A = this chain, B = another copy of it.
Amino acid sequence: MRTLTVSLGERSYPIHIGPDLSDQGEILRSHLDSKQILVVTNATVAPLYLERVLRQLEGKQVATVILPDGEQYKTMESALAVFDALLEHKFNRNAHLIALGGGVVGDLTGFAAACYQRGVPFVQIPTTLLAQVDSSVGGKTAVNHPRGKNMIGAFHQPKCVIADLSTLDTLADRELSAGLAEVVKYGLIRDEPFFRWLEEHMEALLRRDPEALGYAIERSCHNKAEVVAADERETGERATLNLGHTFGHAIETGLGYGGILHGEAVAIGMCQSADLSRRLGWLAERDVERIVALLARARLPVRPPAELGVDAFLEHMAVDKKNLEGRLRLILLERIGKAHLPIPVDLAPLRATLDEYGRA
């Protein structure tokens, strides 16, 4: 097992990464200072891993909430189901929540923990690649609103993250690829050597070579932890973690949640960001090609679905929360390995990118 730390003063916490961590109860129990534990998971993960986690909680007062699987359930309604369970069991302000699942379960459980009695602790046990490398680390929690992704949320750091590599064995290929989108993102925004490593090891990752996966996860978490430690509340560098996300969120909102995986939308959005960066003279044509090629090799979509027109795209981008005072601010790439903080972008090149990507 390897342990990284997210350094945030008194809110610092460890990320444990290794195989079969779900069977090592002492790790989990060492982070639970309460008898009252609510485990939140979903209908896909529950049959695979819930029993294992519950076995480690023997002697505690444990309740569970099992949500349906999918981004379309990352809603206030699901959060209310968590509040109902907490209150039904008379759980107090010292109760702990455990998020067992992917990014949806983690974001939603974290948000519920942030709000229940004005904040209770929670633990992340991410079971997807995307959650292990990105969403479980950093304390961003949220639910979606029909008009925009993650529009209702909170900053609430977990007490720890337990990334059990073995849970990836049961991950669908499509989910694995979605996670790789966020892995590639770290290479793009701040870690050029990692990008080159990914170009060399993409096939190993796709065949789930444990050593390659472990390395990619640890290096991703290392990057994420550094960025979060430097800028917890996203007033600066942390915004670069949203590379491709403004485009991606517009795709997700436009298709309706559940129509596309978050990582897939981000992959498309990173291609669009790269294209826009090139149009503005920042990124070389050759590097755009490398980016698109690597994402395509990760079996990710690199163009938006044809049904999402340019006008609908712009409409959905305008309410993205990175947009200040009506000017659309986007993260661009200076080169592979270096993202620029969000800057206002003129409509003309943005439209050109959307037009380019609007053609099937």
Contacts and interface: CB of A to CB of B under 8 A. Distances in A.
Contacts of A324: 92-94
Contacts of A118: 140-142, 150, 153-155, 321
B325 A87 contact: no
A152 B83 contact: yes
Interface stretch (A109-117, A211-219, A261-269, A352-360): A109-117
A88 B155 contact: no
Given A115-B115, A117-B153, A118-B140, A319 B90 contact: yes
Interface residues of A, number: 39
Contacts of A84: 145, 147
A35 interface: yes
Which has the most chain B C-beta neighbours within 10 Å: A115, A147, A322?
A115
A318 interface: yes
B154 A92 contact: no
Nearest to A80: B76
B117 A321 contact: yes
B76 A116 contact: no
Interface in A148-167: 148, 150-155
Interface of A: 34-36, 76, 80, 83-84, 87-88, 90, 92-94, 114-119, 140-142, 145, 147-148, 150-155, 318-319, 321-326
Given A117-B151, A118-B150, 18 more contacts: A83-B151, A84-B147, A87-B145, A87-B147, A90-B326, A92-B319, A92-B324, A92-B325, A92-B326, A93-B322, A93-B324, A114-B154, A115-B153, A117-B153, A117-B321, A118-B140, A118-B142, A118-B155
Please name the 7 residue pairs, one residue from A and one from B, whose CB atoms are nearest each other, closest first. Answer: A87-B147, A117-B321, A118-B153, A93-B321, A115-B152, A90-B319, A94-B324
